[in-house]
Amino acid sequence: MTATAASVTVRAWRDLDPQARDLPGMSLGTLQVTAQPRQVDRLWDLGVRHAELDTAVDLTGDDPASHRRAVDRLCLVRDLTARAVSVDWDLRLSPHDSAHRWKVLSHLQPPRTVTGLEAADEALHAWRTRHYLCKLVWRQGPGFVQIRDRRWGDLRRFTAEEPRYREAVARLAPGVHHAGVPADILEEFTAEHLVLRVGDLAWWLPYRVARWLQEAMAV
């Protein structure tokens, strides 16, 4: 069973330009949202084009509540990225993490800060200079799910036709206890770095493409 996502506080504006955000009528104030795709659709419909998360995404927590908080905020960053909504957020990793763990998240809009890693500044610079939209996306066609991954410098494409893969993606999208997904599917997704484990939670990394920035064959 998927845990119910708690409310997350964001500050929101109608424009991503820092100077434009200071103009009258550009601020939408503080909003309470949950880490669900429809909530991001609501933000878009309200006119939100830049958002700021209330607290850092902290992947160093050691209790279920902190894991849930981190995943809820990652959901928002992922789904705001899918909408091309600019987002200010901060990432805290553990010194014990791999120096390249940030690459798993590099399809998301770059954070303001990365802390915890020994080479955090270098990681953040690489993230910012190499980021582009549609770096890790998934789409659902008639009878299949396809993932396209360019985080590693080349195009890696995966297609799954069995309905249980689509069901697994739906469960993983908001973050779910790993036991809630068939073990063989979770193992496949994890091996391809399509799932992030945060404590007992497994979270779906790709975002669902809303519109192609180029012709679909070129992405």
Question: Which pLDDT value is given to residue 7?
Answer: 81
| Pair (103, 177) in one structural domain | no
In angstroms, how far is CA 190 from the centroid of its own chain?
A: 16
Q: What is the pLDDT of residues 149-199, one digit of tens each?
A: 999 999 999 999 999 999 999 999 999 999 999 999 999 999 999 999 999
Domain contains 74? yes
| Pair (154, 211) in one structural domain | yes
Task: Out of 97, 130, 163, pick the residue that ends a domain.
Answer: 130
Domain contains 1? no
| Pair (18, 85) in one structural domain | yes
Q: What is the pLDDT of residues 69-95, one digit of tens each?
A: 999 999 999 999 999 999 999 999 988
Domain contains 2? no
> Whole-number mean pLDDT of the chain?
90
Question: Which pLDDT value is given to residue 218?
Answer: 46
Q: Which domain holds residue 170?
A: 136-218
| Pair (72, 152) in one structural domain | no
pTM recorded for the entire structure: 0.91
Domain contains 34? yes
Between CA 193 and CA 195 the distance in angstroms is 6
For residues 169 and 160, the answer to whether their CB atoms sit within 8 Å is: no
Q: What is the pLDDT of residues 18-74, one digit of tens each?
A: 999 999 999 999 999 876 667 888 999 999 999 999 999 999 999 999 999 999 999
| Pair (106, 32) in one structural domain | yes
| Pair (123, 166) in one structural domain | no
| Pair (65, 94) in one structural domain | yes
The tally of domains found in the chain comes to 2
| Pair (54, 68) in one structural domain | yes
Between CA 183 and CA 44 the distance in angstroms is 36
Strand partners, 130: none
Residue 210 has pLDDT above 90, yes or no: no
| Pair (122, 141) in one structural domain | no
| Pair (107, 159) in one structural domain | no
Question: Which pLDDT value is given to residue 2?
Answer: 41
